[in-house]
Chain A
Amino acid sequence: MWWNTILLALREIKRNVMRSVLTILGIVIGVGAVITMVTIGGGATAQVKEQISSMGSNLLMVTPGKRLGPGQSSNVALFKLNDGEAIARDVSSIAAVAPVSSQSLKAIFGNQNWSTQVTGSDNQYFKVTNRSIKSGRQFSDSELRSGAAVCIVGETVRKKLFGGQESLGLNIRLEKLSCQVIGILEAKGQSTMGMDQDDIVVIPIRTYQRRISGNQDVAMFQVSVQQGASTDKAQRDIQLLMRERRHLSPSDDDNFNVMDMKEIAKMLTGTTQLLTALLSAVAAVSLLVGGIGIMNIMLVSVTERTREIGIRLAIGAFEREVLMQFLVEAVVLSSFGGLIGIVLALSASVWLAGVLRVPFVFNAGIVVIAFLFSAAVGVIFGYFPALKAARLDPIEALRYE
């Protein structure tokens, strides 16, 4: 009986190529979309988490302004260099404090020019951001004090301006400032936000203030806490110190922000997770659309199939034989479509992961869920109309219009 039923089902699939292909296609699209989206989303989340953990969780950022969300546009006093000195001096368990001011400028060398991020800071910056000098040297104390026209460039900037040429000792121009390249940073790759961390030029903070921003302000301080020390305590200490230095009365809100990397990390993972959820929702819709496609095909062919059932019953098929045939048909089509969908989705995911430079994270759960859902849709809409038809008297099934 089994072999006969499978034979009948496979014959039916072969004879109705168009219907079979459309059913399979619906499942392929549904399964494929869901798996691809969720896999890529999962990869992005994993990448963010990995990068955050590589940055270290002992980093604090001290920025002026109230916590207003992304804009932070309140008009409050900016920091000065001595704020950073105060943090380094008065807060215990601090490893390094780096003043950071930056803006986007065009760097020019010969006939090459490249728009890059120019950052004013000091040698603490390399410590805080966990970067090292590949060739050349750090700033000297006298250069930092006097605001000398020297710079340390990132790998991207070096490549764009100098190509294969030896660059140490050459002068590049940043707007009106001509400065000598004294060091090249070790390459670090893309950041969590997708920014190229090697697209950077670092100059002494005093040089920045004098020659580029034209004021004595510091946009923010990046603080790294000693290994093993409590970040929360350092955060609180800096907060108290800053309130005191800015003469805030107890009733005033902070007009600055001490942000923990953990918070930033949480925010970023939250964002990617939201994105993944969004993508999954879109994918779920395509799964649904695929399901409706299958449903339509099955329902459109219900008249023909009901007559077919009538014929089979009339020439001596048992109800259960007919039902088993329809069930096998539905299961074969659904699983075939599901398998193709899985294979396509995984290939697409591997490829996309390469293109988007996110890790490929295999999510078995979603593969199973997508497969089961589409199989269920295929089986339900393939089997239940048949169930109805097979219960009729043969003559009623034959008369079905």
Chain B
Amino acid sequence: MIAFSQTENHPFIELKGVTKVYGTGQAAMHALRGIDLRIDEGEFVAVMGPSGSGKSTCLNILACLDTPTTGIYKFKGIEVGKLTRSQRTRLRRFYLGFVFQGYNLLNRTSALDNIELPLIYRRISAIERRKRAINALETVGLRGWESHTPGELSGGQQQRVAIARAIVTEPAILFADEPTGNLDTARSREIMDLLSALNQNQGITIVMVTHEPDMAAYAKRTIHFLDGLVESDEQNGRAI
């Protein structure tokens, strides 16, 4: 286990001069050109920007799914870049939740089993697992759909299963990559209401990538990315 300092001296999440380069030489593509960012506990951050501005790359790095080319990423004061592979895995397992743009649920696997999966890796007992998974399913409003596989669920329902899977571990921070990207307006609002509620009621920090201003408006803070740099970073006036 990694010893995280519990003092408030360290920011929750801190990026310093983070860059990400894909490929090498002439073909090199600079996705991030030096990001400085700080996110505190309990925030609800929307990350916006045009395609290719580096917002998803940044989110993947924050979620420990990807590693920066240069720069420092500190999580609760711990330098993530210096952690071993399995320490990063532990970080994901115990602190981070992730909602993918393409849902990334296991095929031919029931909603409940999908939601239970992270709990299996946390060595939670079968009974406790089931209880928590059903709770999470309840939270996203999908009671009665336990045994349906992703193929039998609509896009919005799959997105909600993906959210349930991310929150079932009660992560310290939830990353969501365009959680409403594939949904109609009504479904999008349902999802956003759900995320807001998680942020307000359970105190889960949320970092969400979106390109819809309507959805970004649900967040308390909006960061704009452009060409691999932070263009603007402002608190939203509107409180939900």
Interface set of A (CB-CB < 8 Å, partner B):
1, 4, 7-8, 11, 15-16, 304, 307-308, 310-319, 321, 393-396, 398
Contacts and interface: CB of A to CB of B under 8 A. Distances in A.
Contact of A318 (B86, B96, B113): B86
| Residues of B in contact with A, size category | 20 to 34
Question: 3 closest pairs, A vs B, by CB?
Answer: A316-B93, A395-B65, A315-B118
Contacts of B89: 313, 316-319
Given A314-B92, A315-B98, A316-B93, A16 B121 contact: no
B190 to A, nearest CB: 23
B120 interface: yes
A319 B65 CA distance: 13
A315 B117 contact: yes
B38 interface: no
B108 A316 contact: no
Given A393-B66, A395-B66, A316 B118 contact: yes
B143 interface: no
30 contacts: A1-B123, A11-B113, A15-B106, A15-B107, A15-B109, A16-B108, A304-B107, A307-B104, A308-B106, A310-B104, A311-B106, A313-B89, A314-B92, A314-B100, A315-B92, A315-B118, A316-B96, A317-B89, A317-B121, A318-B86, A319-B85, A321-B121, A393-B67, A394-B66, A395-B60, A395-B65, A396-B66, A398-B65, A398-B100, A398-B104
B145 interface: no
Contacts of B118: 315-316
Interface of B: 60, 63, 65-67, 85-86, 89-90, 92-94, 96, 98, 100, 104-109, 113, 117-118, 120-123, 165, 169
Contacts of B107: 15, 304
A284 to B, nearest CB: 35
Contacts of A321: 121
A314 B98 contact: yes
A10 to B, nearest CB: 12
Nearest to A393: B66
A312 to B, nearest CB: 7
Nearest to B105: A311
